[in-house]
Amino acid sequence: MNQLEALKQFTAVVADTGDFHQLAQFQPRDATTNPSLILKAVQKPEYAPLMRATVAQFKDRTLDEIMDRILVRFGCEILNTIPGRVSTEVDARLSFDTVATVTRAERLIELYQAAGIHTSRVLIKIAATWEGIEAARILEQRGIHTNLTLLFSFCQAIACGQAKVQLISPFVGRIYDWYKKQAGAQWDEAAMAGANDPGVSSVRQIYDYYKHFDIATEVMGASFRNTGQILALAGCDLLTIAPELLAQLSAQDGSTLTRAMDANSAKTQNLQRLLLDEPSFRFALNEDAMATEKLAEGIRAFTADTLKLEALMQQAAA
């Protein structure tokens, strides 16, 4: 049994890619996409025709609608390959606009439904700002399930649990990156590996809190830098993993892999229930320098890649 097979005994494995041709070999349950992954995919020769055809078919529509149709087209292709759900992201430029996020999410769902995809197979990805979490609360009440992304802090996770979102994606690798950069020459890679990795410990804290208080929101670790981070989270509800790391897991022996996270042990911990309103959420996020910096950086990066994708669409339409 390789490490990927062993991991699947404890955790639902999700592929983090827009390259749907890669999916079959790893047999993930779900898949996640984002603007950066779709941009990467459409620049490959095998996917460029898909984008050109979509742009040509809907060239009389607004640019944002064409974008959504491309995202949904990729999502539909992915769902033809996997048994579970696909996550499709709302434009990052709407991260601080609750009403606009809800409207865009509802359109994405309508496009999936028009393609014959049931709502239960789609998660709408939304940045875990206060406005994004409020949008997710509204969408969940309307039967549209959400995946709150760019999640770096415990307070973001608390607010998402209160909003009863379907799933959150704590970003392990980007948390690790920040602390490693801050430490500079003092960083000890071996000492900060496994359970001591700051990204791993962040996910474990959230997981234990959710399980202790029976919060139904699923925890999906994301943004990994190495397989050690993944294996240290064996037992997490889900882990979304890039194809390169899925290949590495497939190539390594997994006979000794054991569960690292357990809901029953979380029940025995002495934890305090927390409640956050908007002011306390904003203050807690402000107090977390890493989360504040990484959330802003992530929104900027996804926005930049969305703009690049729009430029490619405009070129295809010309």
Q: Give catalytic residues, as residue numbers.
A: 125
Contact by Cβ (8 Å): 223, 239: no
Contact by Cβ (8 Å): 123, 146: yes
72 class by beta-carbon count within 10 Å (0-12 exposed, 13-18 middle, 19+ buried): buried
Q: How far is CA 194 from CA 85, 138, 176, 209, 237, in A?
A: 29, 37, 11, 20, 18
* CA 44 to chain centroid: 23
Q: Give the residue among 100, 147, 104 at the shortest CA–CA distance from 126.
A: 147
Contact by Cβ (8 Å): 101, 132: yes
Contact by Cβ (8 Å): 114, 153: no
Q: Give the residue among 142, 84, 83 at the shortest CA–CA distance from 108.
A: 142
Residues 152 and 180: their CA atoms lie apart, in Å, by 15
286 class by beta-carbon count within 10 Å (0-12 exposed, 13-18 middle, 19+ buried): exposed
| Token pair 């927390």 in the structure block, residue | 274
Coil, strand or helix: which one is 226? Answer: coil
Residues 40 and 44: their CA atoms lie apart, in Å, by 7
Residues 76 and 85: their CA atoms lie apart, in Å, by 10
